[in-house]
Every structure is written in structure tokens, then in C-alpha cells.
């Protein structure tokens, strides 16, 4: 809940064209640029539930507005995570909204971060401080969490005083280079939601660039925590694409590498299989010449000019973090993406459940 005095807000939602009811609802709420409260639930995504599911989301917002008297339901955002294609148990959820409203506290940030955990092993929070103002955030999820719960939900708050348009611009700029570049398993959720609420309580209006940098810092911190806590994963893989012709090229190449199942298996086996990196780059439309590509794994240039470089035996892959550097030798743009390895634990968690 945002106690004000301002209630400006911005939101970024999944690009999946199949959107959960709470995403459709919250997108409408955000169009007004004002959010007084956010209700988050886990256990059910309320996706692919038809008009009835949408009414469940509306009832959730109305219940929250009533419980926080004097507030409008169309300024209550809703975020859900869990199984797709099942209705929410509204007989449990609505009393839960009332209980949560009664338990609201200014010191409740940590508790909220714990409460939104699903199969997360730790809760995730981050903070960035400005001159007299602060941006804080909490998040749950990431691909490779329990099945159907792969959704990423994040809520950022600040006591800075900025209009909704500035919040929106800062949040979009931040998510584009942070959450959007975490690609655990290539699967895009129907429910991904990132919200930013500004109370203005500090009375300070920071410069836009300074504020945007703080939002980016918090998003980056949370995104990195999501990768590090991806269940079933044994490696965090950082992919630096450098010397690309454009940033789009760098992201396309990085995403193709991040989604290559054979490479993700190889890294799980601590095998510096650079051929799979080239093979992944080769499926993209990025500008490059195959015989000018270079690849380093943990700093060792195992591929030079598209062919065999330094002996792969000299690569040490025992640490949890593995860094792949892909040099497209085509320009000056770059991008960093994060993914995880593909493990038997991932398969187990995503097959041994439901029905």
C-alpha cells in the first residue's frame, strides 16, 4: 500500500500475447498512472481462465479497496503466480486479502518479500539511496523455479516525488537491460509483472537521470538474485556479447546462446564446449563473419577467428558462475545476458508435479 501523499505508479508486464487476468487488469489500472495498493497471490496464475477469471481479479481488487477504506478498486493492481488454467480459490483468497490489509505495517517490507516467495529459497530485496530519497524493491521467481510458477513478480517503491510519466520511462529503461536479459529457460510467462510506486513522502524530486540510475540498480540487483536462486540450476551463466554491430544484434546473439539446450547441458557438465556457442550464434541474423568470431569461457579464448584457439583444457569451470564472452567482431555495441545451466533437477521439478 502506498500511503502517499502522491500515488504515481508505472508498470511493465509480460510481452506474452496470452496474458493472465491480473495482467490485463493491472495494465488498465496503470493507464490511470495511480496505484494505491498491490495485491499479490501465489498458487494460481489466474491465466487462461476466461471472463470468470477476470471477474475473480476484479473481486480481489474490490475487496482490497474496501478493506483499505476510502480507496478505489481501479487503483489497486493485482499480480498472481502459480498454475495456469485453474480458477483461484476465492473463498480462501478474499479473506486473505482482508487479513493482509489488517496486517499492513510500515515495517512490513521484509515480511512482504518473504510472503511472495513460492519455491524461492531466499527472499529478494534491494535498495538504492539518493539524496533524501530511496528506491526499494522485492521480487520472487525466475525461470527454473517450480513448474508453472516460473513467473517473475517485482514491486519497487520510492518516496521520491516524480510524475507517472517519469516513473514509466525509468522503469522501462531499467527492465529492458535487467529483467529482460535474464533468460533462465526461454519460457515467457503469462504473468510477469514489475511495478514501481512513488509516494512522494520525501518531498524530494530527484533529477531524472539520477532516479533512473537508482531504479536500474535495484532492478539489476533483483535480477541477479533471481538468477542466483534459480532452482534446479548449478551454474549461473553470464553471457557478454561484445563488438556487435548493434545492441539488438548483441541481445539476439546472447539470447540464442542463453537458450541453447545443448550448451546449457555442456556447462552443467563443466565442458567448455565453445562449438555450441558458435552454433547458437550461427542461427541468428546478427551481423558477423563466421571466420572472425571469437569466444572466451571464463577468460580463456578457446575460439579464435571461428576456429580452435587456446586449449580448452585450460578453462576452469568449477565455480558457480561461468562467463561466456562472444566477440562478434562486427562493431562496438555490447550486451550482457544471464541464464542458468540445464540440469536433471530442472527436469525433475518441471515434470514431477500437477495431475
Instruction: Please enumerate, by residue number, every residue annotated as part of a binding site for substrate.
Output: 118, 140, 151, 231, 350, 355
- How far apart are CB 187 and a copy of itself at their closest, in Å? 5
d(CA 79, CA 84): 13
Nearest-approach distance from CB 247 to a copy of itself, in angstroms: 20
Residues at the binding site are: 118, 140, 151, 231, 350, 355
Contact between 318 and 232 (Cβ < 8 Å):
no
36 is catalytic: no
Which residue number, 42 or 158, has a Cβ lying nearer to a copy of itself? 42
- Shortest distance in whole angstroms from residue 31 CB to a copy of itself: 19
Instruction: Determine which one of 49, 57, 151, 157 is catalytic.
Output: 151
Residue 292 DSSP symbol: G
Q: How far is the CB of 43 from a copy of itself (least distance, A)?
A: 14
- DSSP reduced 3-state for 67: helix
Instruction: Report the alpha-carbon distance of residue 168 to residue 12 in Å, rounded.
Output: 8
Closest C-alpha to 326, from 245, 250, 246: 250
Q: How many CB atoms lie within 10 A of CB 246?
A: 15
CB of 326 to a copy of itself, least distance (A): 12
Three cell numbers, residue 217: 540498480
Query: Which grid coordinates belong to 9?
Result: 505508479
SS3 content of the chain, % helix, strand, coil (to 5): 35, 25, 40
Compare residues 125 and 350 and give the one whose CB is closer to a copy of itself.
350
Q: Extract the C-alpha cell encoding 149.
A: 510458477
Strands, DSSP E only, in the chain?
8-13, 37-44, 76-83, 124-129, 134-140, 153-158, 193-198, 236-244, 294-297, 300-304, 307-308, 321-327, 333-340
Q: What positions carry a catalytic annotation?
A: 151
Amino acid at each position: 500500500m502506498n500511503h502517499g501523499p502522491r500515488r504515481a505508479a508505472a508498470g511493465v508486464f509480460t510481452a506474452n500475447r496470452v496474458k493472465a487476468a491480473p495482467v490485463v487488469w493491472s495494465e488498465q489500472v496503470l493507464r490511470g498512472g495511480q496505484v494505491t495498493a498491490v495485491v499479490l497471490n501465489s498458487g494460481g496464475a489466474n491465466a487462461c481462465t476466461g471472463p470468470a477469471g477476470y471477474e475473480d481479479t476484479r473481486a480481489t481488487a474490490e475487496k482490497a479497496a474496501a478493506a483499505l477504506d476510502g480507496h478505489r478498486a481501479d487503483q489497486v493492481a493485482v499480480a498472481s503466480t502459480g498454475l495456469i488454467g485453474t480458477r483461484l480459490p476465492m473463498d480462501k483468497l478474499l479473506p486473505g486479502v482482508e487479513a493482509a490489509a489488517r496486517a499492513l505495517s510500515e515495517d512490513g517490507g521484509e515480511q512482504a518479500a518473504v510472503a511472495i516467495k513460492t519455491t524461492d529459497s531466499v527472499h529478494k530485496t534491494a535498495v538504492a539511496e539518493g539524496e533524501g530519497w530511496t528506491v526499494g524493491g522485492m521480487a520472487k521467481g525466475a525461470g527454473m523455479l517450480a513448474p508453472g510458477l516460473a513467473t517473475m513478480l517485482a514491486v519497487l517503491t520510492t518516496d521520491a516525488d516524480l510524475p507517472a510519466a517519469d516513473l514509466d520511462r525509468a522503469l522501462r529503461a531499467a527492465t529492458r537491460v535487467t529483467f529482460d536479459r535474464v533468460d533462465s529457460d526461454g519460457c515467457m510467462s503469462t504473468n510477469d509483472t514489475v511495478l514501481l510506486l512513488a509516494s512522494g513522502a520525501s518531498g524530494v524530486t530527484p533529477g531524472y537521470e539520477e532516479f533512473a540510475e537508482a531504479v536500474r540498480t535495484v532492478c539489476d540487483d533483483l535480477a541477479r538474485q533471481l538468477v542466483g536462486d534459480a532452482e534446479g540450476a548449478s551454474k549461473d551463466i553470464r553471457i557478454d556479447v561484445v563488438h556487435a554491430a548493434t545492441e539488438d544484434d548483441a541481445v539476439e546473439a546472447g539470447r540464442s546462446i542463453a537458450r541453447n539446450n545443448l550448451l546449457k547441458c555442456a556447462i552443467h557438465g563443466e565442458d567448455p564446449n565453445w562449438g555450441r556457442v558458435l552454433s547458437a550464434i550461427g542461427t541468428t541474423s546478427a551481423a558477423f563473419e563466421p571466420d572472425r568470431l571469437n569466444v572466451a569461457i571464463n577468460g580463456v579464448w578457446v575460439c579464435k577467428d571461428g576456429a580452435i584457439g587456446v586449449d580448452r583444457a585450460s578453462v576452469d569451470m568449477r565455480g558457480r558462475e561461468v562467463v561466456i564472452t562472444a566477440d562478434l567482431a562486427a562493431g562496438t555495441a555490447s550486451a550482457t545476458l544471464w541464464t542458468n545451466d540445464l540440469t536433471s533437477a530442472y527436469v525433475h521439478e518441471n515434470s514431477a508435479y500437477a495431475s
